[in-house]
């Protein structure tokens, strides 16, 4: 009897307020999670090598989509209150469709990030299969070099060079075609090298490799071990993916930037500089040991937001079914209003994250 009495005392306004408070608590919890992540981002950036690059275009499209979806859900509520259920249904359905479009463009953005060399877990610089060439003070940077038409191919960042100039597209495509055969290297699988010595030849640890019975051999006629061939396989993968010294695609200083303690660095002759002054040996090697923390944070922050959108879409899908079935006409629009509050929150949260990452990242 006491329970029934309490339920009778809960007026519709009180029930609405209680349900809204639960939504607000959920919003606050989500906000604290992202506040922690963005704070961690700033702290992590302070004393490490940090890469910055533009957002994929798909992220900007998804921003427009989520803004429109917020407008649509508000219009759906407005028309429902006025008893114009036909228009309300249209805008509720549009809200759900645009929510799905947001997810689509976010996933497309992640595809663009991957294509540009940004990964959830990745490195700043290429270590495995790094191309070899002599640098400052005779320092050697990798195991293999390629000779093309009697000239060594060089490297500058992500650009492969021939006679000191960036290789033409045609020459680089020829190099990729020659190196493709080494991508299939596997343990205990015989490697037969084709088209060797005509235009291309290889050097390993600064020694020319000979081709004996279709197999790569050192000058003393000993065959390369599998560990040596696995390095060649990694190099072939890097070249065919358009990678040089960096996992990020493009040119340093133009398509992406590298910072250390908030100061932008330069990279020339495979050495790091700050304002024309070469960094010491410790800071030269540290980037090769550093993970791409910036990309990890970018993926984690945006994907966690996407998961909240996806979970909320299940609720919005339920609201869409209710709207089409006429349930809102019988029971009011409280459920839709509660969903809209959280949906608006996720939209504003995305805009905040985008602005934060745009200026910080």
Q: What percent of the chain has pLDDT over 70?
A: 93
Asked which of 246, 277, 300 is the last residue of a domain, the reply is: 246
> Which pLDDT tens digit goes with each residue over 225-234?
889 999 999 9
Q: Read off the pLDDT band of 6 (50, 70, 90).
A: very low
Lowest-confidence pick of 31-35, 168-172, 192-196, 203-207: 192-196
- Sign of the alpha-carbon torsion through 278, 280, 285, 288: negative
Identify the CA nearest to 209 among candidates 188, 224, 190, 192. Answer: 224
Tell whether 107 and 159 lie within a shared domain.
no
Tell whether 242 and 141 lie within a shared domain.
yes
Tell whether 141 and 100 lie within a shared domain.
no
| Dist. CA 310–CA 17, nearest whole Å | 26
pTM across the whole model: 0.84
Q: Read off the pLDDT band of 183 (50, 70, 90).
A: very high
pLDDT for residue 66: 96
Does the structure show a pLDDT above 50 at 1?
no
Is residue 69 included in any domain, yes or no? yes
Is residue 36 included in any domain, yes or no? no
Asked which of 211, 246, 281 is the last residue of a domain, the reply is: 246
Does the structure show a pLDDT above 60 at 8?
no
Section 38-67 average pLDDT: 91
Asked which of 182, 214, 246 is the last residue of a domain, the reply is: 246
Is residue 110 included in any domain, yes or no? yes
Tell whether 101 and 198 lie within a shared domain.
no
Is residue 179 included in any domain, yes or no? yes
**C-alpha distances in Å from residue 247, one per residue of 20, 68, 255, 295:** 46, 35, 12, 11
Tell whether 212 and 310 lie within a shared domain.
no
Q: Read off the pLDDT band of 140 (50, 70, 90).
A: low
Is residue 220 included in any domain, yes or no? yes
> Which pLDDT tens digit goes with each residue over 286-308?
888 888 999 999 999 999 999 99
Is residue 263 included in any domain, yes or no? no
Tell whether 166 and 233 lie within a shared domain.
yes
pLDDT for residue 27: 94
Tell whether 320 and 219 lie within a shared domain.
no
The radius of gyration of the chain from alpha carbons, rounded to an integer in Å, stands at: 29
Number of domains in the chain: 2
> Which pLDDT tens digit goes with each residue over 326-348?
766 555 678 888 899 999 999 99
Domain that holds residue 221: 136-246
Tell whether 141 and 228 lie within a shared domain.
yes
Identify the CA nearest to 196 among candidates 237, 155, 147. Answer: 147
Is residue 12 included in any domain, yes or no? no
Tell whether 237 and 146 lie within a shared domain.
yes
Mean pLDDT rounded to a whole number for the chain: 88
Q: What is the DSSP letter of 167?
A: P
How many other CB atoms sit within 10 Å of the CB of residue 127? 12
CATH number, domain with residue 105: 1.20.120.80
> Which pLDDT tens digit goes with each residue over 16-47?
788 888 999 999 999 999 999 999 998 888 77
Tell whether 167 and 225 lie within a shared domain.
yes
DSSP string, 323-359: HHHTHHHHH-SHHHHHHHHHHHHHHHHHHHHHHHHHH
| Dist. CA 137–CA 43, nearest whole Å | 36
Is residue 257 included in any domain, yes or no? no
Tell whether 240 and 145 lie within a shared domain.
yes
Tell whether 143 and 222 lie within a shared domain.
yes
Helix, strand or coil, per DSSP, at residue 121: coil
């Amino acid at each position: 009897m006491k329970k029934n009495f309490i339920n009778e005392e809960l007026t519709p306004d009180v029930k609405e307020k209680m349900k809204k408070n639960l939504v607000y608590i959920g919003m606050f919890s989500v906000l604290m999670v992202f506040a922690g992540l963005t704070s961690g981002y700033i702290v992590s950036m302070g004393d490490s090598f940090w890469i910055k690059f533009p957002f994929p275009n798909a992220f900007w499209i998804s921003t427009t989509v989520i803004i429109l979806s917020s407008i649509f859900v508000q219009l759906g509520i407005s028309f429902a209150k006025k008893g114009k259920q036909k228009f309300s249904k249209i805008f509720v359905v549009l809200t759900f469709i645009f929510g799905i479009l947001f997810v689509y463009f976010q996933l497309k953005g992640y595809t663009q990030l991957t294509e540009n060399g940004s990964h959830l877990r990745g490195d700043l610089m290429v270590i495995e299969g790094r191309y070899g060439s002599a640098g400052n003070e005779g320092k050697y940077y990798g195991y293999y070099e390629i000779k093309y038409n009697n000239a060594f191919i060089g490297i500058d960042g992500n650009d492969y060079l021939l006679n000191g100039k960036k290789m033409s597209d045609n020459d680089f495509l020829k190099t990729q075609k020659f190196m493709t055969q080494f991508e299939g290297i596997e343990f205990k699988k015989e490697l037969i090298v084709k088209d060797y010595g005509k235009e291309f030849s290889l050097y390993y640890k600064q020694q020319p490799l000979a081709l004996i019975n279709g197999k790569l051999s050192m000058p003393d006629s000993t065959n390369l071990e599998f560990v040596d061939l696995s390095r060649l396989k990694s190099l072939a993968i890097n070249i065919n993916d358009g990678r040089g010294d960096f996992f990020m695609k493009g040119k340093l200083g133009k398509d992406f930037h590298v910072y250390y303690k908030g100061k932008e660095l330069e990279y020339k002759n495979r050495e790091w500089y700050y304002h024309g002054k070469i960094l010491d040996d410790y800071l030269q090697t540290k980037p090769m040991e550093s993970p791409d923390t910036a990309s990890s944070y970018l993926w984690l922050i945006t994907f966690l937001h996407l998961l909240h959108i996806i979970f909320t879409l299940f609720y919005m899908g339920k609201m869409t079914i209710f709207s089409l079935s006429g349930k809102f006409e019988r029971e009011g629009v409280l459920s839709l209003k509660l969903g809209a509050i959280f949906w608006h929150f996720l939209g504003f949260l995305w805009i905040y994250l985008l602005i934060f990452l745009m200026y910080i990242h």
